[in-house]
Structure 1
Amino acid sequence: MPDQIPVTVLTGYLGAGKTTLLNRILTENHGKKFAVVINEFGELGVDNDLVVDADEEVFEMNNGCICCTVRGDLIRILSNLMKRREKFDGIIVETTGLADPAPVAQTFFVDEDVKRATKLDAIVTVVDAKHLLARLNDTKEAEEQIAFADLILLNKMDLVSEAEAVEVERRIRAINPMVELIRSTKSDAPIDSVIGRDAFNLERILVREPDFLSGEDHHEHDSDVNSVSFEVSRPIDPEKFNTWMTDLLAAKGQDLLRTKGILAYPDEDRRFAFQAVHMIADGDYIGPWKEGDPRKSKIVFIGRDLNRPQLRRGFESCQVAG
């Protein structure tokens, strides 16, 4: 849908450099205008005062810890923005540093008007390279922000050695093996590497990185959040898959942070892309299978307490009879 407004969700733990990045986006000479939504924790917001005095429209949502409140407020703000669609090229949502970005991401699944008018471009997580390892040891939010990310800005590189940076990247990969990483100092990544990436689009990801949904099992034990992925050769029965996924998300949705899959349905020349954020799921056909490519179905789960054998058996059981 060419008239959809791209939305970038900007997240990251307290002090990682989100507001610095946001200010750079708003002040650099890129010729685009953005509406900005700031989701703060607490009754009195200060982030709004830290954002540079730009021409952009800045909206503030407080008490951002409550999922339903966030979604309701965001839907209301987005609906109002749609009435002034011609005034900006994109929307940036900055979450509170204490936030699980899921409620914001889910907004683009659950509300039909929002789905029609906007497109989730990417979840960008800014990470403090100096302090991330400590944050991963003492808070679950830092892990969740990494798990949800389509793109990670590994910030404050001037404060760490190469060996420390490599270890931080290893820990990030243990949580989210397929995320794109960009190193930065003072959030100085090129703006076009952050904005307009279409990174939440599985089709675009697969064009750039065909092995994105690799058939290998990823399972690390040094983190509370892990990733497992599976591949099957026979076509997937849509009814079996929908029943299995509905039951799985109902039972384990709180632990399943992100689910992504490319499915081959019987007698169908198009690939089906499936995505879920916690218990909110969505899917659509994204284009034809390439001639000569094996029509294998792949799925990846990122979350907590993942039962690899059980998930593998469940996915395999969705295949049509051999």
Structure 2
Amino acid sequence: MAKIPVTVLTGFLGSGKTTLVNHILTANHGHRIAVIENEFGEIPIDNALVLGGDEKIIEMSNGCCLCCTARTDLIEILQSLLRRRERFDRILIETSGMADPNPVAQTFFVDDEVSSAFALDAIVTLVDARHVESHLKEGEHDGVGGQVSNQIAFADRIVLNKIDLVTEPEIEDLRRQLRSVNATADILTSSYGSVDLDDILGINAFDLNRTVAADPDWLEDDAHHHDPTLESVSIELGYPLDRAAFEQWLTALLAERGDDLYRFKGILAFDRKTVLQGVHRIYELTDAGEWGAQPPVSKLVLIGRNLDRTELTDTVSRCSLAAAGR
């Protein structure tokens, strides 16, 4: 049987990976896609943010990112998917924004069963056009700049996302910066992750020989680094929140700590279920419908530097309807 093609979707925190996953799953392309998701945090949120999140979605939420997970975890998931092979014809792996794509890619060459059944089709890296320049300037090897550079350098396709937030001259300058990090990958542009799927799926772009030629020890290299100062704070509140009070709290937090908040997202229990997505000082709240029989629970994840879990939990809890006098 033909090997099952696998696309690895990577990109730094807030680059738009889940938005692109939604675009892929809802587009009229005829593919049956199994999605493996990995989150950096204690509370799984991304699965709830993916449209049509049914049996196609497999979560790897272990409080860490995929490249730090024992490789056997991913291998076991891939092996379990083989037992349901008739339900899909390709796989999409959405990594955490903290992930190094190298160990993920290596998985498809170090296990005999996996390598015989799956073919790594491409590494697709999303780039946040609004924030990538400042992230790249954080140039420490094990810091944010090193992580962002590595994700870009290892890409077979680069999607420069959120171009609606920058100007045309800025886009051209960003193209030059990306090309200085990766001289060969095609660079696509998008807003809200809207790209031609023929440009990222089934493109047969990953070349093992080229990769090994550039780094002869690539398959044996397990070293990968993350910014040790970045941490994740997860908050879960089992009561309704007052939207006005929450937005006032968030606005004050971002005004004071926006540079340190690389990513924040959540599902919030206002009068209606509401999705929060944010990067640094930019955020949006999107209506997600009625709660129905599901009890209203707010789940919030913040990723950044010098985050005080107790303080954040205490202050956001004051946004409850009871505290707001409603």
Measured against the shorter chain, the TM-score band is: 0.5 to 0.7
Pairs aligned (count): 215
Per the alignment, residue 189 of structure 1 pairs with 195
The residue that corresponds to 1:174 in the other structure is: 180
Taking the aligned partners of 1:275 and 1:153, their CA distance within structure 2 comes to 27
Q: Quickly say closer, same or farther: Cα 1:166–1:275, change in 2 above 3 A.
A: farther
Name the residue aligned to 1:122: 122
Structure 1 distance, partners of 2:126, 2:185, is 13
Q: 1-side partners of 2:219 and 2:175: how far apart? A: 25
Higher RCO (CA < 8 A, seq sep 6+): 2
Residues 64 and 70 in structure 1, CA contact (< 8 A), matched pair in contact too: no
CA contact (8 A) 1:70 1:103 kept: no
* CA shift for structure 1 position 165: 0.9
Over the residues paired in the alignment, what is the CA RMSD in angstroms? Answer: 2.2
Contact 1:32–1:89 under 8 Å retained in 2: yes
Q: Give the superposition deviation at 1:131.
A: 0.9
Match of 1:71 in 2: 71
Q: Is the 8 A contact 2:98 2:147 kept in 1?
A: yes
Bigger drift between 55-64 and 147-156 goes to 55-64
Q: Is the 8 A contact 2:3 2:117 kept in 1?
A: yes
TM-score in terms of structure 1 length: 0.62
Q: What does residue range 88-127 of structure 1 map to in structure 2 within 5 Å?
A: 88-127=88-127
What are the within-5 Å matches in structure 2 for residues 80-91 of structure 1? 80-91=80-91
CA distance in 2, matches of 1:56, 1:30: 19
Deviations 1:160-198 (A, max 9, x none): 112111111111111111111111111111111111111
Q: Distance in 1 between matches of 2:149 and 2:47?
A: 26
- In the alignment, structure 2 segments of 5+ residues that lack a partner are 139-143, 223-326
| Local SS of the residue matching 1:125 | strand
Instruction: Give the match's secondary structure for 1:196.
Output: coil
Change (3 A) 1:24 1:70: farther
Determine which of 123, 139, 164 is the counterpart of 1:158. 164
Cα separation, partners in 2 of 1:58 and 1:71, compared to 1, 3 Å: same
* Residues 66 and 123 (structure 1), Cα distance of their counterparts in 2 relative to 1, 3 Å cut: closer
TM-score by length of 2: 0.62
Report the Cα distance in structure 1 between the residues aligned to 2:217 and 2:4, rounded to whole angstroms. Answer: 21
1:199 partner amino acid: A
Letter in 1 for 2:12: Y
